[in-house]
Amino acid sequence: MTNKQQGLGIGILFVGIVILLGKLGVFNFIGEVFWPLFILIPGILLQFLYFSRVLPAGILIPAGILTTYGLIFLICNLAGWESLQYLWPFFIFGVAVGLYEYYVFSQDRPHGAYIASLILTIITVVFLAATLLWTIGIYFIAIGLIVVGLVLVFWKRKSKW
């Protein structure tokens, strides 16, 4: 058997395995579950390239955004997309992460990036608190009413008479 025949045989074997895995749904499953890695990995790669001194500090802004968004999508993909109703403020936080990384690791330490990241973080916290109060706040109200009702039922005042 020649090298050409062996190479052709390996190529045909590879194509057959790929077709079989595709028909079994392996690639579909990987694509459905792990697609956020196509956002997360470039973000991590951009950070790695900056810390390897290949790219300038400005690349940390999109790197922080992509990394944060990739993590949000990965969490939603694994925990269920209904969790996005709680996690949506973190899209604002992704920009804050990128700006803060740029502020910390840039040579000139741009104060505007720090202020912007701080403002965006505060906005994220406010929106997250409002979202949590809006979605699960009714439970706190119910528990508070139960506690007040129990206090009124079982609290005995000492009479002065």
Residues 90 and 22 in one domain: no
Whether residue 159 is contained in a domain is answered as no
Q: Which two tokens stand for residue 41?
A: 């990995």
How long a stretch of residues is the chain? Answer: 161
What range defines the domain where residue 18 resides?
1-34
The pLDDT profile of the chain, 161 residues, written as one tens digit per residue, is 677 888 888 888 988 888 888 888 887 877 777 889 899 999 999 999 999 999 999 999 999 999 999 999 999 988 999 999 999 999 999 999 999 999 999 999 899 999 999 999 999 999 999 998 888 888 888 899 999 999 988 887 666 65
C-alpha closest to that of 76 among 129, 125, 35, 30 = 35
Residues 29 and 45 in one domain: no
Instruction: Identify the pLDDT of residue 158.
Output: 65
CA distance 149 to 51: 59
Residues 56 and 127 in one domain: yes
Whether residue 160 is contained in a domain is answered as no
Q: Which two tokens stand for residue 12?
A: 């045909």
Which residue's structure tokens are 């706040």?
137
The count of structural domains within the chain is 2
- The answer to whether the pTM exceeds 0.75 is no
For residue 88, which phi and psi values (nearest 5 degrees)?
-60, -30
15 neighbors 37 (Cβ within 8 angstroms):
no
Which residue's structure tokens are 């406010």?
126
116 neighbors 101 (Cβ within 8 angstroms):
no
Residues 47 and 5 in one domain: no
Instruction: Identify the pLDDT of residue 124.
Output: 97
Residues 69 and 79 in one domain: yes
- CB-based contacts of 111: which residues, under 8 Å, 6+ apart? 103
- CB-based contacts of 56: which residues, under 8 Å, 6+ apart? 50
Whether residue 132 is contained in a domain is answered as yes
C-alpha closest to that of 110 among 126, 124, 99 = 99
Instruction: Identify the pLDDT of residue 159.
Output: 60
Residues 46 and 4 in one domain: no
